[in-house]
Amino acid sequence: MITLERRPLLERLKGQPPWRRLLLASNPPRSVSPDDILSLRDYSFSLRYNDVGGMVHWAEIATTLADAVVARMPSAQDARASAWSQKGNTRRMLAHFPEAEISLAVAEEALSLGTGDPSIAALIWETRGALYRDSRRFGLAQSSLSRARALHQKAGDECGLTRCLVGEALAAGKNQNPLRAVRLAEWAMARVDPSVDPHLAVSLSHTLSWSLVDQGRPREARAVYATTELLFDDLRAEALVQAHRCWLVAHIDGALGLDEAAEPLLRRASAAFAEAGLFYEEALSRLDLGIVLARQHRMAEVLATVNEIQPLFEALGIAREAAVAQRLLFEVIPSTVEQVVRTLTLASREILLHPMPRQPLPAVAA
């Protein structure tokens, strides 16, 4: 029978409360190896769709362990670079952009002290590209993702190369360039094997479908989504995947004039984002809900929805977006349906072109 001490470090740490995990990671046994660091890093990454708090927590554990191990094992620098890259990714997802920049700088320094492995360098630049995309520095996002794509190609990582194409398509969509987004997404679509990476396949389906709607092609968007609907079903346990799925289908339904079908999907999406602590996504999905309600001439509910949006922005400290929500309070009710929809749509576009606001670190379950 395997004793507790001989079990993999990750399994041992899972059985401890969060505060003790940090303590143990900062004082690891001499038997800990770079593979232990990578197992913690990979576990953090695996939680990105259904446990944001856990993802952040385990990235912190991984970097704490890496810093402790590399002091006595310089050969662990590559693993340390991977861990710090993942920490940068978690901070990027929560819009803690300065902290993400610092983490990626530490990752680059660690890699320079290690082997300079191009596969790790590719991951760092891929994360940097996502960081620049989310902070709305689209030129830097493009150059970073292009560099990551070249490094993935050098390392022979076809999946990584495809991920970069998906990232570039997403950046183009956020930069309101649906033509480029569709072209890149279609290029990536031919490269994805859903049986190998279902998460990448549904992410690509989401990006391509959303961009097709924005290009005025909702029926084609519906067809693209239909090809991956079973994959979305297989990922039903991934709460954030399902929240984005609801938002996507509502986006398609709304473009097809199916507002009654879109409404409950938007309510489910915004509730899931709220539960995950992703208040920016919650606010934007509620803006879409307001548009759907307005087109159904349900103005009292539109006002109630706008009232729910403003405190979200104010709580996140976004003065400009809070002002947008304040303006909506005065413009929505006296207007025609067409004016209300236009006001809400412009507000959504204005918000999307601004950097995501810093989101609070989510709580970690014991």
Separation CA 350–CA 321 (nearest Å): 8
Q: Once rounded to an integer, what is the mean pLDDT over residues 160-179?
A: 88
- DSSP string for residues in 67-126: HHHHTT-GGGHHHHHHHHHHHHHHHHHTT-HHHHHHHHHHHHHHHHHTT--HHHHHHHHH
Residue, of 308 and 151, whose pLDDT is higher:
151
Among 2-6, 268-272, 324-328, which is the least confidently predicted range? 2-6
Residue 102 confidence (pLDDT) above 90: yes
User: What is the rounded average pLDDT of the residues 108-134?
Assistant: 96
Residue type, 363: A
How far, in Å, CA of 31 to CA of 21, rounded?
17
Q: Which tens digits make up the pLDDT trace of 62-74?
A: 999 999 999 889 9
Query: Which stretch of 191-205, 224-238, 326-340 has the lowest confidence by average pLDDT?
Result: 326-340
For 266-287, the pLDDT digits (tens) are 999 999 998 887 777 888 899 8
Q: Which residue has the tokens 């996502």?
A: 130
Q: What is the largest CA-CA distance in the chain?
A: 74
d(CA 79, CA 36): 9
CB 332 within 8 A of CB 340: yes
Q: Which of 16, 61, 72 is nearest to 36 (CA)?
A: 61
Categorize the per-residue pLDDT at 3 as very low, low, confident or very high, splitting at 50, 70 and 90: very low
Q: Tell whether the model's pLDDT for residue 294 goes beyond 60.
A: yes
Q: According to the 3-state scheme, what is the secondary structure of 297-345?
A: CCHHHHHHHHHHHHHHHHHCCCHHHHHHHHHHHHHCCCCCHHHHHHHHH
| Structure letter (DSSP) for residue 14 | H
Q: What share of the chain is helix, strand, coil (3-state, %, to 5)?
A: 75, 0, 25
Give CA–CA dist 63/333, Å, rounded: 51
Torsion of CA 267, 217, 172, 103, to 10 degrees: 30
The predicted pLDDT at position 325 comes to 58
Q: Is the pLDDT of residue 327 over 70?
A: no
Question: Quick one: average pLDDT of 93-106?
Answer: 94
In angstroms, the CA 266 to CA 244 distance is: 10
pLDDT tens profile 17-61: 999 999 999 999 888 999 999 999 999 999 988 788 999 999 999
Q: Band of the pLDDT at 141, cuts 50, 70, 90?
A: very high
pLDDT recorded at residue 245: 97
Closest CA to 80 of 70, 89, 91, 92: 70
Mean pLDDT of the chain: 88
Residue 2 pLDDT class (50, 70, 90 cuts) = very low
**pLDDT class for 5, splitting at 50, 70, 90?**
low
For 115-132, what is the mean pLDDT?
96
Look at the block and give the residue holding tokens 């996504």: 281
In the block, tokens 């890699």 appear at: 111
**Is residue 111 within 8 Å of 146, Cβ to Cβ?**
no
Mean pLDDT over residues 288-296, rounded? 93
Residues 273/281, Cβ–Cβ less than 8 Å = yes
User: Could you give the CA distance from residue 33 to residue 79 in angstroms, rounded to a whole number?
Assistant: 9
Is 70 exceeded by the pLDDT of residue 175?
Answer: yes
Band of residue 4 on the pLDDT scale cut at 50, 70, 90:
very low
